Structure 1
Amino acid sequence: MRQTRRDDGMKQTFVTLSEFRYQLRRFLRFSEEAAHAQGVTKLQYLLLLHIKGFRGREWATVGELAERLQAAPNSVAALVSRCEAAGLVRRWRSNADHRQVEVHLRARGERCLRQLAALHQAELGSLAAVFAVFRTAGAREV
């Protein structure tokens, strides 16, 4: 039985989405292994990344990090405690609002993050062509 043009288009949509999810998972797996090789967990790496990557300043609050990690604030507070014990971050009570706690990178966390960022940037560079195909295919098919 011959597929219609619509069926052919839907098949290509599934192929494109499948390939995208595969490449995304490969990158996430790479990220997890790179973090582990640096002696941190994937969540610790993400916490460091979101602190350094917070727009406009070099620190973030627990609430802001919870939003970035899509996690409960109490879980993020526990993660911050583990990172603090590992010498990666430090907490300061905010001078502007004493109810808030600022989370800052320590020198060890900064070094770890810089090493991981270099590895991730190289890996993203290798995936650039793959994701460019998705942008053009997605505009036509999805």
Structure 2
Amino acid sequence: MNTPLDKSEFEALADFRYQLRRFLRFSELLTRRHGITNLQYLLLLQVKGYPGREWACIGELAERLQAHQHGVVSLVSRCEKLGLVERRPGREDRRAVEVHLTAEGERLAATIALHHREEVKLLGGVFRDLASQLR
């Protein structure tokens, strides 16, 4: 852990951040073209991609988005106004809130995810190569 980095490792880390930023910029422009923010898309993606089910609770989404719960509540409210998600009472705990995609949220998430899938495939090899350059 205390081994100093050599020049090639700095270059690999810099390139990793560059490639990551290019992907994020691609995503920002794509979501904007579809009329939503990148954060709104990330919410849709996390609901649709939540492991083992088709919905997620606010706390789970906060963890997946690495955000505060109150921020996620606001984000869900904005997406709800756009007709992309709906809130439902928890199945086991009625105090909990389940977030579900609407048909429009499903459609939009699928459309944007198709474009992301292709971009991630392109980056896969780049990231493998960069990881091999680090000691």
Q: TM-score range by the shorter chain?
A: over 0.9
Give the 3-state SS of the residue equivalent to 1:102 in structure 2: strand
**Equivalent in 37, 42, 46 of residue 38 of structure 2:** 42
Is 1:81 paired with 2:77?
yes
In the TM superposition, residue 128 of structure 1 has moved relative to its aligned partner by: 2.1
In the TM superposition, residue 137 of structure 1 has moved relative to its aligned partner by: 1.5
Is 1:118 paired with 2:117?
no
Q: Matched residues in 2 for 1:72 and 1:114: separation?
A: 26
AA aligned to 1:66 is: A
Gaps of 5+ in 1: 1-5
Determine the structure 2 residue equivalent to 1:21: 17
Q: What is the percent sequence identity of the aligned residues?
A: 52
AA aligned to 2:116 is: H
Is 1:70 paired with 2:66?
yes
In the TM superposition, residue 129 of structure 1 has moved relative to its aligned partner by: 2.1
TM-score normalised by the chain length of structure 1: 0.89
AA aligned to 1:81 is: S
The 4+ residue runs of structure 1 with deviation greater than 6 A are none
Q: Matched residues in 2 for 1:132 and 1:102: separation?
A: 37
Q: Matched residues in 1 for 2:72 and 2:127: separation?
A: 31
Give the 3-state SS of the residue equivalent to 1:40 in structure 2: coil
Corresponding residue pairs, total: 133
Determine the structure 1 residue equivalent to 2:55: 59
CA offsets per residue over residues 29-83 of structure 1, 9 Å max, x none? 1011111111110110000000011101000001100111111111100100000
**Equivalent in 119, 125, 128 of residue 124 of structure 2:** 128
AA aligned to 1:58 is: E
Determine the structure 1 residue equivalent to 2:97: 101
Give the 3-state SS of the residue equivalent to 1:27 in structure 2: helix
Higher helix share: 1
In the TM superposition, residue 135 of structure 1 has moved relative to its aligned partner by: 2.5
